[in-house]
Structure 1
Amino acid sequence: MEDGILERDGKRLYRAPALEKGLDILELLAGEEQPLTVSAIVQRLGRSTGELFRMIQVLEHRGFVEQGPAGYVMTPRLFHLGLKRPPVRSMLEQALPIMRQLTIDIGQSCHLGIQTGSDMAVVARMESTAAVGFAVRVGYRQPLHRTSSGAVLYAFQSPSIRGDWERSFQPAPSADELNAFRAQADEIRVTGLGRQDNPCVNGMRDLSAPILRGRQAIAVLTVPFLRLTDSTVSEDAACNAIRAAAAEISSSLAFNDSHA
């Protein structure tokens, strides 16, 4: 290795130590559920306080991390930067008016999720116009293989992509969990819709339909369906509405692709 140059897979990679330290900090915090102090970050990364302290201060100044009473956490800044990428921005532009109409039609909120790493992340939401409702915040993440929307997204992928995702699942599922997830996805592939009790809220059902580009799902539209006593919209009717909304978003994306 020459000074500042790293050889990997036959390619010459130029090193940028300061940038690498900053990325190391972000990758560490991204994988932590609890805040980390400076000393904990230093210990986890095996570097000195002098090496990392200024990096943390710069990341905080630029809004990528923030400090609370218990230590540092990542902010949603990186996530929101990702939403500005043209493919995601275009999808949101097409989806939001349709999502708004869906909430009006069924009196329930909805949200749009995409795959990011081994998680499903909410990239857009539309709150219900009803007096009582449930909404998931933008940026909310859960392991892909533990969500109904993740099963829907996985259901409409090629075998090679499924295999890549399975190897990246965190936390790694047991053999029984993985087999159950595959079976759930195979059923969804036939029905075109995910219907599952929400694991966090009693009495709520997650109804999810794929946003398709060709035969591949690129996102999932989900309604966290509440059985409201004064609602005239049944779960079956909501399923029909979410199918239609997802199909409309898919069609609008296909139309834009053909006229790009």
Structure 2
Amino acid sequence: MTESEEPSAKYRAPALEKGLDVLELLAARGEPMGMVQIAAALNRSVSELFRMVQVLEQRGYVANTPAGDGLVLTNRLFSLGMTRAPAKSVLEAALPVMRRLSEVIGQSCHLAVASAAEMVVVARIEAPGNQGFSVRVGYHRALVEATSGLVLYAFQPETVREEWRARLEPTVSRSAWAKFEAKAEKARAERHVQASSDVTRLVVDLSAPIFGPEGVAAALTSPYVETPTAISVADTVAAIQAAADEISVELGGQFQ
């Protein structure tokens, strides 16, 4: 808050303002900052901000980097947004499109969003007919282990990927992370992900990103099962991409 803004404020909450200043500063800088750097940038003393930063760290909004070279934002604010009001708007836009998609491809489909270091399924449409394979609502897995998680990471803006990378990379082996990054690069080139399910045999996961105004809002995924009446994988991918693009337009997002 600048000095020119202070007189116009009807109510003041100094402690809250300090905490928000720290969050906004870390978001703007996009790089690790120590307490001394934060205090200097905000023109405050270290002792004045110490308890604010401690609480933000305890609540999971900021964290030290694995290398210990300063504080960075976690994705907690992003996760809160995805699992609260924005997620509701995503569902409102997505469900009618998902129903039509399921009829076209003859498969089930589901919608997954990011929550901390995991992907969580928030909606699903069953396959038409009497048989099909689907993933239940509430199903969750580590982002680095799931097709939907790969999509949620791969298509984020670079600044967001950098922040996620700082938290996710230390959770897996170096070789596993290298493979994950390679898959993400391939996904960006192809605008979708096609991968054999590592959970269920004979299922191929097909997934495409749904964009909101600020990046990836969700992953639209279909666990493809080959049946006598199934359309081709290529046609299914095209239908999923078209559906994801339609939902993105409804949300005011576009492919990045």
Report the TM-score range of the alignment, normalised by the length of the smaller protein: 0.5 to 0.7
Contact 1:112–1:125 under 8 Å retained in 2: yes
- Superposed, 1:89-104 pairs within 5 Å as 89-104=88-103
- 1:246 equivalent in structure 2: 244
- 1:181 equivalent in structure 2: 180
- Superposed, 1:163-178 pairs within 5 Å as 163-169=162-168, 172-178=171-177
Q: CA deviation at 1:147?
A: 1.1
- Superposed, 1:172-251 pairs within 5 Å as 172-214=171-213, 216-228=215-227, 230-251=228-249
Counterpart Cα distance in 1 of 2:120 and 2:51 = 33
Contact 1:212–1:219 under 8 Å retained in 2: yes
Q: What is the DSSP-based 3-state SS (H/G/I as helix, E as strand, rest coil) of the residue aligned with 2:131?
A: coil
Once the two structures are superposed, residues 180-219 of structure 1 have per-residue CA deviations (whole angstroms, 9 ceiling, x without a partner) of 1001000110110100000011110000000012572111
Q: In the alignment, residue 202 of structure 2 is paired with which amino acid?
A: G
Inter-CA distance 194–9: structure 2 relative to 1 (3 Å threshold): same
Counterpart Cα distance in 2 of 1:190 and 1:83 = 25
Q: CA deviation at 1:85?
A: 2.6
Q: What is the DSSP-based 3-state SS (H/G/I as helix, E as strand, rest coil) of the residue aligned with 1:249?
A: helix
- Superposed, 1:139-178 pairs within 5 Å as 139-169=138-168, 172-178=171-177
* Aligned counterpart in structure 2 of residue 9 of structure 1, from 43, 49, 57: 49
Q: CA deviation at 1:162?
A: 1.5
Q: In the alignment, residue 246 of structure 1 is paired with which amino acid?
A: A
- Superposed, 1:125-144 pairs within 5 Å as 125-144=124-143
Counterpart Cα distance in 2 of 1:216 and 1:12 = 29
Q: What is the DSSP-based 3-state SS (H/G/I as helix, E as strand, rest coil) of the residue aligned with 1:187?
A: helix
Identical residues among aligned pairs (%): 38
Counterpart Cα distance in 2 of 1:10 and 1:208 = 43
Structure 1 spans left out of the alignment, 5+ residues? 1-6, 24-80, 256-260
Q: What is the DSSP-based 3-state SS (H/G/I as helix, E as strand, rest coil) of the residue aligned with 2:217?
A: strand
Q: What is the DSSP-based 3-state SS (H/G/I as helix, E as strand, rest coil) of the residue aligned with 1:244?
A: helix
Structure 2 spans left out of the alignment, 5+ residues? 1-46, 60-79
Once the two structures are superposed, residues 219-247 of structure 1 have per-residue CA deviations (whole angstroms, 9 ceiling, x without a partner) of 1000000011x214111111111010000
- 1:114 equivalent in structure 2: 113
Counterpart Cα distance in 2 of 1:147 and 1:221 = 13
Aligned residues: 185
Counterpart Cα distance in 2 of 1:177 and 1:8 = 42
Contact 2:90–2:217 under 8 Å retained in 1: no
Q: In the alignment, residue 231 of structure 1 is paired with which amino acid?
A: T
Q: In the alignment, residue 155 of structure 1 is paired with which amino acid?
A: A
Counterpart Cα distance in 2 of 1:147 and 1:210 = 14
Contact 2:111–2:220 under 8 Å retained in 1: yes
Q: CA deviation at 1:159?
A: 2.7
Counterpart Cα distance in 2 of 1:215 and 1:193 = 19
Q: CA deviation at 1:133?
A: 0.5
Inter-CA distance 132–167: structure 2 relative to 1 (3 Å threshold): same
Contact 2:102–2:125 under 8 Å retained in 1: yes
Q: CA deviation at 1:135?
A: 1.1
User: What's the TM-score once normalised by structure 2's chain length?
Assistant: 0.66
Q: In the alignment, residue 205 of structure 1 is paired with which amino acid?
A: V
Q: Give 4+ residue runs of structure 1 displaced > 4 Å after superposition.
A: 81-84
Q: In the alignment, residue 126 of structure 1 is paired with which amino acid?
A: I
